[in-house]
Amino acid sequence: MNISIFGLGYVGCVGAACLAKLGHHVIGVNHTQGKVDLINAGKPTIIEADIEELVKEAHERGMLEATTDYRYAVKNTDVSFICVGTPSSKDGHLNLDYIYRVARQIGEGIREKDSFHIVAIRSTVLPGTNQKVGEIITEASGKERNVDFTVVSNPEFLREGTSVQDYMHPPITLIGTDSEKAEAVFREIYKDIPAEFVCTDIRVAEIMKYVNNTFHALKIVFGNEVGNICKQLDIDSHKVMEIFCKDKQLNISPYYFKPGFAYGGSCLPKDSKALRTLAHDLYVDVPVINSIDQSNEIQKRTAVEIIESKGRRNVGILGLSFKAGTDDLRNSPIVDVIEVLYGKGYSMRIYDRNVRLSQLTGTNADFIQAKLPHLHQIISDDLDAVCMASDVLVITNKEKEYADLPARYPDKCIVDLVRQFNELDYEGNYEGISWANINCNPAQDKPIERDMVTTEY
């Protein structure tokens, strides 16, 4: 099948590569020439596990191309996916300008076609967006919905870092449509995906991502709060949650139930905020959902307090992106921690091998410019250099390359935000953010040599 994908960010790039892998011919559309050039050179626009090989293979097989010409893309395809961003405003409402702009472009392309065209909204949007997109396409094309074209909602359930695996093996394939023809086409598109195909009402499909992500956000905070209580009682919180997660019938999923650092990224903060805003607009009181962000901010403050408690001025942050295996800095919680410590006079150094300053573009670049404009002075891709220059090492992403840090740097203070180690025999000082001490070495009880009398300025 011939498919066009509007937007070549995380969702669009992964979708283009995976659909090509499934045997479809894909045309990626983006207004940024640089991203188009990358795809046409057989290179991905993002850093993500397995994506480089998929894009290269699709390009070599002639199954994937990219263009800035939206009319060309619509004319030469039967299905168009909308995968552009939907950033949220300060009050939680979504900015749908990119969605509507693409809808108008697709409508202009459909005006020049005689065949039936299907538009699929893959971006995360609130209920009612599908209807509005249909109205814009009708106006731009002069054609009738469900006669000349239709609009379906096909939300994605991808996690950055494992998005290719999630695309090819999703929990479900969800389609919201009022068109039997569109349902049949999407069953054909996804026929080789080993997941239940669920076809439902459009508005049901539109709200599912928000419900899912708000629940995922809740699970992370719940695990952290349990961990913080257990830590004060000298109880191993990971053993508690491991047993808790054995109940697969009621507790649903163990994935997010791990005490650790605050959540971040492009989805959980934005989508939980959007659901809170939606409830507020509908005059519905949701005290638990409203408390999620507050608890998440407390977890950030807890990280700052633990780092400050070490009394050492030189701090090394190991991992800047919000999650291991990605270069996404959007709403990365450690950035807030760095910002606070930097403002208090700490000497900061950062290691992250996935974040390349020269390649920061779009939302990543805007976010860093607003939060850490001096980033280029303190970030490095040399792990040993950062560790040697730091007295406190803060592990923010679980990575194999950090596994031997206690052996290589026995005199450091280690602050673990992700449970990098299950147990530890370490001469230096170790502290986890939300679990009781796992360090069995008595040498850790030696008083810390402090070089800061106070951390308040």
Q: Which residues are catalytic?
A: 267
User: Does residue 165 come out as left (phi exceeding 0), alpha (psi in the -120 to 50 range) or beta?
Assistant: alpha
Q: Which pair of tokens denotes residue 382?
A: 């040399």
Nearest to 219 by CA among 162, 260, 184: 260
DSSP 306-364: HHHHT--SEEEEE--SSSTT----TT-HHHHHHHHHHHTT-EEEEE-SS--GGG--HHH
Q: Using alpha carbons only, what angle is made at residue 379 by residues 378 and 383, rounded to the nearest 5 degrees?
A: 120
DSSP 113-147: --S-EEEEE-S---TTHHHHHHHHHHHHH---BTT
Q: Which helix (H) or strand (E) holds 101?
A: helix 97-111
Q: Which helix (H) or strand (E) holds 299?
A: helix 287-309
Residue 376 Cα to chain centre, angstroms: 23
Q: CB-based burial of residue 345 (10 Å sphere; 0-12 exposed, 13-18 middle, 19+ buried)?
A: exposed
Return the DSSP state at 447. P
* Strand, helix or coil for residue 247: coil
Nearest to 117 by CA among 182, 187, 25, 192: 182
Q: CB-based burial of residue 16 (10 Å sphere; 0-12 exposed, 13-18 middle, 19+ buried)?
A: buried
DSSP 14-72: HHHHHHHHTT-EEEEE-S-HHHHHHHHTT--SS--TTHHHHHHHHHHTT-EEEES-HHH
Q: What is the rounded distance in angstroms from the CA atom of residue 413 to the CA atom of residue 406?
A: 9
